[in-house]
Amino acid sequence: METTRFDEVLLPFINALDEAEAERQLSRLLTEHAEPTVARIIRYKAGGTRPLSRRADELTKAEDVRGEVMLHLVVRLRNIRADYSARPIADFNAYVAAAAYNAYDRHVSRLYPQRRRLKNGLRYLLTRRSGFALWQTADGAWVGGFEHWRPGARVEATNATGGADVSAFGGLQRLREDPRAFARGASEERLWHDRKHAYELLSAIFEWAGVPVELDLLTGVVADWWNVTDEEVELDAGRDDGGPVQVASGHPAATVEVESRMYLKRLWDEIVELPPRQRAALLLNLRDEGGRGIVDLWIIVGVVTPEALAEALSLEARAFAELWKELPLDDNRIAARLGLTRQQVINLRKSARERLARRVKAF
């Protein structure tokens, strides 16, 4: 077996000669490497996404996240050992961190659907409004800020897994403790409370902080300013009395939103497996029933980044940013870009849709 693609810390488990030794090595991986990272991220996230008075309660609720992540890791590692062709994990600590961030995000989605919608709205603004940017740190955390703050221009935001020290970013810590710490004047406060001025609010937060702000923290600050609240969703899988599951009234069940996001993730995974021309014919023309372009749907729900979309279309990020404003393209323009006839573009898109229909039918 070729194991050079795997993190060295995984090799004793992967190469164990018997199942007893494999289980010992798996236990070592979980207790020495995974659990400390997962616990640290959960404490960090739970401490910065809810009001100070609610953080102890949030930490208690988030304990389920730890179990979810650990179960995911056990299944993933055992699958690797059982199937040597499985996708490798080159950096186990980074993989654990990303799994913890994703699990906590799902946790928030289940409990706080309105907060999740606000987060998606901020994600959309950060990716679509000139001057703003949204990107992912090495450990999987999403951060937002001014466009010139992207990695390479300025230091990335702090993270919970060994990046910059939290104490080096006093402004971010103050925001966690007081979402209104950045306020500078009564006139600005009145302006920021109006949701029509989201750009001004985010600009004020970034200017005050001076560094990128993690998306969850940013969501918490904006939620406080705009009084976005949720009736918490109580999910009890063990109930057998037929009692209703409570959700925030007037909105879809959080589980539906989570399942929809999972579906979009699986759909995207299938799209990137399409041949390049089929992929381009599909994505460049993708639209809703009203004829509006929806290729950015995956960005809005946090499944992919703008850079990933650009890569899927074999475009540089800057070129995609310019093209994005014109989407969806008609078949003649797509044909001109691909050096094909209009009918060939139609045929490619038809083939892409048929293949996707077959692949997604199972899920």
16-25 LR contacts (CB < 8 Å, sep 24+) = 16/81, 22/81
Task: Report the C-alpha gap between 96 and 68 in whole angstroms.
Answer: 12
Task: State CA 108 to chain mean position distance.
Answer: 12
Residue, of 38 and 62, whose pLDDT is higher: 38
Task: Report the C-alpha gap between 149 and 128 in whole angstroms.
Answer: 16
Q: What proportion of the chain, given as a percentage, has pLDDT over 90?
A: 13
Of the candidate ranges 55-64, 113-122, 246-255, 334-343, the one whose mean pLDDT is the lowest: 246-255
pLDDT of residue 324: 75
pLDDT tier, 88 (very low <50, low <70, confident <90, very high otherwise): confident
Task: Report the C-alpha gap between 102 and 96 in whole angstroms.
Answer: 10
Is residue 249 pLDDT above 70, yes or no? no
Among 358, 329, 359, residue whose Cα is nearest residue 345: 329
> Positive or negative CA dihedral for 287, 292, 294, 296?
positive
pLDDT of residue 146: 93
Is residue 187 pLDDT above 50, yes or no? yes
> How many C-beta neighbours within 10 Å does residue 130 have?
8
pLDDT of residue 264: 79
Overall average pLDDT of the 334-339 stretch: 92
pLDDT of residue 233: 35
Residue, of 298 and 47, whose pLDDT is higher: 298
pLDDT of residue 72: 84
pLDDT tier, 128 (very low <50, low <70, confident <90, very high otherwise): confident
Is residue 81 pLDDT above 90, yes or no? no
pLDDT of residue 182: 81
Is residue 155 pLDDT above 70, yes or no? no
Is residue 323 pLDDT above 60, yes or no? yes
How far is residue 108 from each of residues 112, 114, 178, 297, measured CA to CA in Å?
6, 10, 20, 20
> How many C-beta neighbours within 10 Å does residue 29 have?
21
Kind plus residue range of the DSSP H or E element containing 21: helix 19-28
12: cis peptide before it, omega within 30°?
no
Q: Which amino acid is it at 23?
A: E
